[in-house]
Amino acid sequence: MDKPAIILVSAQMGENIGTAARAMLNCGLRDLRLVGPRDGWPNVKAERAAVGAFEMMEPVKVFDTTEQACADLTYVYATSARDRKMVKPVVTARFAATEAREKIAAGGKIGFMFGAERMGLVNDDVALADALLTVPLNPEFTSLNLAQAVLLVGYEWYQSGDKTPPAQMDMNGTELATKDQVYAFFEHFERELDACGFLRNEAARPNMVRNLRNMWSRAQLTEQEVRTLHGVVKELTTLRVPRK
């Protein structure tokens, strides 16, 4: 799948361009477009801040105007934290990421546009975009630096296509114990608890056993852990000659 372009309009510092490129590559984005970078291009400070990101990306494209940077795109999102008083769709980064994938799958070319560090995009640039993109943050403080903004948008893009399970257990070469193995441990454990008198209260015994079994079940024991627990119970219940 083609991936969105990142358009930085009037970026003021090379370091911010470099860290934005680093954020892009973190999220699999490689098409960086610069419109009138204040300190020119190429930029040594940007190279240093990118920590090698530029070497793994497409060559950076530099344009004189925002219109030129967006000319080959079919849909552009302009990022902003402010109300621009324009009749224009306003979407979150999460929604935009999913929508962008749909548009790209249909043959479109997408761009995410970011403004200068000091004040963001000017309204003339925003007017060229199809939609406004915003990130819901603390309304009392929504300020982001350029790389943070790029990373947030890029992250939502990457996550919208990522298949990583939301949670998983690293088994480290072992397997979860079968229920039969766990139930056998229940019997062994409870038999020894009966023998030592821990479960002597007949009225309370059913609830105590239930709580113990629930505790062990919640632990998602592995085969090795069940074997270890059998060994622990055996050692604790074996008569030993006291040490002198």
Express each pLDDT in 61-88 by its tens digit. 999 999 999 999 999 999 988 887 889 9
Which residue in 6, 81, 89, 14 sits closest to 45, CA to CA? Answer: 14
Average the pLDDT over 185-199 and give the result. 96
Q: What angle do CA 158, 171, 214 make, to 5 degrees?
A: 105
Contact 46, 14 (CB under 8 A): yes
Please report the pLDDT score of residue 225 as a whole number.
Answer: 95
Please report the pLDDT score of residue 241 as a whole number.
Answer: 61
Average pLDDT, the chain: 94
User: To which residue do tokens 């009037």 refer?
Assistant: 10
Contact 190, 168 (CB under 8 A): no
* Residue 143 binned pLDDT confidence (cut-offs 50, 70, 90): confident
End-to-end, the C-alpha distance of the chain in Å comes to 74
Q: Which residues, at least 6 apart from 24, have a Cβ–Cβ distance to it below 8 Å?
A: 6, 30, 32, 53, 57, 150, 154
What pTM, to 2 d.p., does this model score? 0.80
Average the pLDDT over 29-42 and give the result. 96
Q: Which two tokens stand for residue 34?
A: 């610069």
Q: Which residues, at least 6 apart from 141, have a Cβ–Cβ distance to it below 8 Å?
A: none
**How far is Cα of residue 55 from the mean position of the Cα atoms in its chain?**
24
Which residue in 213, 208, 211, 206 sits closest to 179, CA to CA? Answer: 213
Please report the pLDDT score of residue 243 as a whole number.
Answer: 59
* Residue 147 binned pLDDT confidence (cut-offs 50, 70, 90): very high
Please provide the size of the chain in residues: 244
Please report the pLDDT score of residue 55 as a whole number.
Answer: 96
DSSP 56-113: GSPPPEEESSHHHHHTT-SEEEEE-SS----S--EEEHHHHHHHHHHHHHTT--EEEE
